[in-house]
Structure 1
């Protein structure tokens, strides 16, 4: 008798027929043993409408305590039973099986409030734009940090970057990686005043030009036209060879503008040096400014022996003003030579100080090494300057920046004249606190660059330790101007900072609670090593930075800088070179092991 034939049988069927159906359903299977194996997970639950499944269901109905019996057969207590599973949860007491599955709760919020949720559950993405400097601190993906590339891809509105971090946490390493990457992208990095000499090795490795200024170093002639003068000479040669009148008129316009720029820069450079010497008395007088301009016009006149290829020196300027001329008498409002010389006595005394003494050692002679416009990287090394001589340091820094920006203008002149390709320059300003405090003109100079760098095709990197550095300037006006550097920076990169610094920056930069905790945690030093394990540990925040591309509470990008093998092998990021012998001798006498000096290198 088949199952199909017996589908008409019910509980009212005669006992003999019902017993036959039950016997057929049960078969020869030992359902008690099967239930025990299912309870322990050794066997799977049979299909519901299979012969074994129906037989097992009948056995369970006839044995209400089947679970208990099955576990006893399996020789395991009932409270260790493994509950069966279904599409809706575990079956049995305490299993949590649900007859229906409710819809999940939905929330709506802005991308700022709910950043990192659907469909990106692991935080903000890292833009793949420009130079790769490391990896994302959370996701591990490669992260780029490049002001020009971020500006090109509309991540920021201004190709500039402000870096804040406590000493020894790798901010100079990050900057060097960005500068090296800029060379690879065809940009020309310029370090106009390397105060600590941290970029000299990187410049040499990139085949760039290192200009050394300071005691025992080279000289700088502030009356030289520099690279802008060289560009004017090339433009004049191109104009003389041109036959198209429209082209000639265009070149004449560019040449005249460049000459006026050179003249204005020379006057400003001399006046800035005079103001530094007269810092405790008074600034340059109006008629003195006029005298300097008239003297420069006479020195560069057509009848003079001087030109952009053969520039005059400060002693030549001194001699021309001392001799006087009708135009100079008129500017000083004097009718005779004696009264004129009495009027310019103070100016001549100041110019004399520029041609002798410590300042004369640097500014009284021709420029030793003019800046090479074709160099892939330019570094003006001023690390040999006496750090206690603030006047000399300020004078050199002002001259360096004037010369560096003259290089930028020279490149633009050649590009506008169609004589060379358009170049992009990345100006690095490390140790910003020293540069801004070098003299009264530096804040205004940097302020000018931060406002005009987009139109000048120049990127700007400003690096300092904390925002407190900007509050140490001598005047309240300089402090307010310097704080504006952070506001105008396209992106701000923060390394390890103390809690007070995060609060101080709240007016210019917004941190979420998580970001504030992350940045302050990076300011902790390395954990102390135990006496039984003489191991060297790096500070927690070394190489860790938070990239903020917006000034609101938009989440930043946490990164960990990663050095390549060639960076390790060349030691380009080793800023602790003077400690090499001390680190190499760091020998552990208790374990007779020498501690690896590379673990102590600050940049690593």
Structure 2
């Protein structure tokens, strides 16, 4: 009976809160002291459970570990079950560029090594992004870091004078070209191809044919811009004859002379009797009248847009052992898009010829402000040829543009030039897409092959994500990379000097 009463009192007390002062509840007067450990007594560590679990009731101990079944499937199916997993990073070869934002690992770049390992089919790069997204910083960082791997850099036309600081930091003085300067570049130079001509007749014929092809392609491109039409067969034949006549190829000379644009103009302006007979004209007067438009257009370039730039022999000697070479064309910015495009075409032809050494090192050829160069339709075809021959020429072609819609502005819709320009994207197996505007992002998605998730990444980047981009390596590998610059590189890649207060 007594035990029953005690149990009843305990049950009734459990239904009410304990009696305590409200002040002690809200603000305890003293902090409870920690329990004092007895001297000489050591606490027993918690036992480490075995693979089968803790040996006590209700602890999930398994007397036998079952063999789990293994299932195999393709990544196209498994990615639906595990959409939060990303592929492994690229092999750590080449120059460190930054951090892979999805895996947290280091991201390294070496287009030639990627080519050798079968990750890409060509070493060319295409980088696109709005102004201020970090295009030039990414390119300069890549050029500086690939120097340790023996890759030298050549900038074919620096319109904004962005690479002069980098060149001077490496101990190289840029080649400055512009009105009022004594520097001259001859875009018809034969370069290393014209030196030490082979003695084998077949090899000699092929070498001379390649040199002639480059010269005739450049002059035809310039004349087509001036005439706003293609050259007729007589004009092309006269141009080819003038080049061979000046170089001495007609006479079978063992050492050829590099013609200049004024030399070619002089032959077209006053054709001689042998040229008349070669072109099957009735008289000198008749031939002069038939080629007068081409001769006048070439004369206007010599005395006008190209005057003081490409109207004489080359006056500079390139140091091919230097880590970088750049042609500064900042003085040409105010001469109009057509003149700038022709200047870039001449500088590109001269530069590509100058570095065309079969025994030379791998070079990073940077083509900045690509939309300006593609104003000349023939320049688009030449650029396409350079990209296709990059592996045999030992070059890593880098194309930089603000948006991919620039490739559609090279000509009329559906024209051959537009089709070739769009094909330039597929000739670059490494494509870097930095921050983009919303409107051109749809074209970028179709041209590069971006997924919905990658488009969302790009659309979310702001000015504080400078240098962050999607790196598409080959046709299957994609990485979100944040470019990391050292303090010295940040100073060399800073392009907002004019905006400083």
Counterpart-to-counterpart distance in 2, 1:253 and 1:564: 52
Evaluate the alpha carbon distance shift between residue 577 and residue 327 of structure 1 in structure 2; reply closer, same or farther with a 3 A threshold.
same
Counterpart-to-counterpart distance in 1, 2:264 and 2:354: 24
> In the alignment, is residue 268 of structure 1 matched against residue 223 of structure 2?
no
Q: CA deviation at 1:130?
A: 1.0
Evaluate the alpha carbon distance shift between residue 190 and residue 323 of structure 1 in structure 2; reply closer, same or farther with a 3 A threshold.
same
Counterpart-to-counterpart distance in 2, 1:434 and 1:322: 31
Q: CA deviation at 1:102?
A: 7.9
Counterpart mapping for 1:163-562 below 5 A:
163-208=127-172, 210-217=174-181, 218-229=183-194, 232=195, 235-236=196-197, 249=200, 253-279=202-228, 282-301=229-248, 311-387=258-334, 389-409=336-356, 411-412=357-358, 415=359, 422-436=360-374, 438-475=375-412, 476-477=414-415, 478-522=417-461, 524=462, 539-551=463-475, 554=476, 556-562=478-484
CA contact (8 A) 2:221 2:379 kept: no
Counterpart-to-counterpart distance in 1, 2:456 and 2:239: 56
Counterpart-to-counterpart distance in 2, 1:433 and 1:312: 29
Evaluate the alpha carbon distance shift between residue 124 and residue 395 of structure 1 in structure 2; reply closer, same or farther with a 3 A threshold.
same
Counterpart-to-counterpart distance in 1, 2:167 and 2:354: 17
Evaluate the alpha carbon distance shift between residue 540 and residue 116 of structure 1 in structure 2; reply closer, same or farther with a 3 A threshold.
farther
- How many residue pairs match? The answer is 451
Q: Which runs of 5+ in 1 are unaligned?
A: 1-41, 48-85, 240-247, 416-421, 525-538, 583-604
The one of 556, 568, 574 equivalent to 2:494 is 574
* Higher Cα Rg, which structure: 1
Counterpart-to-counterpart distance in 1, 2:380 and 2:257: 32
Counterpart-to-counterpart distance in 2, 1:358 and 1:454: 34
Q: CA deviation at 1:170?
A: 1.0
Task: Compare relative contact order (CA 8 Å, sep 6+) and give the higher one, 1 or 2.
Answer: 2
* Aligned alpha-carbon RMSD (Å): 3.5
Evaluate the alpha carbon distance shift between residue 176 and residue 260 of structure 1 in structure 2; reply closer, same or farther with a 3 A threshold.
same
* Cα shift readout 1:106-135 (whole Å, capped 9, x = no counterpart): 6643245547999x9665223212111112
Q: CA deviation at 1:167?
A: 1.7
Q: CA deviation at 1:396?
A: 1.0
What SS does structure 1 have at the residue aligned with 2:127? Answer: strand
Q: Which runs of 5+ in 2 are unaligned?
A: 1-41
What SS does structure 2 have at the residue aligned with 1:404? Answer: helix
Evaluate the alpha carbon distance shift between residue 491 and residue 359 of structure 1 in structure 2; reply closer, same or farther with a 3 A threshold.
same
* Cα shift readout 1:300-320 (whole Å, capped 9, x = no counterpart): 22899x997864433333333
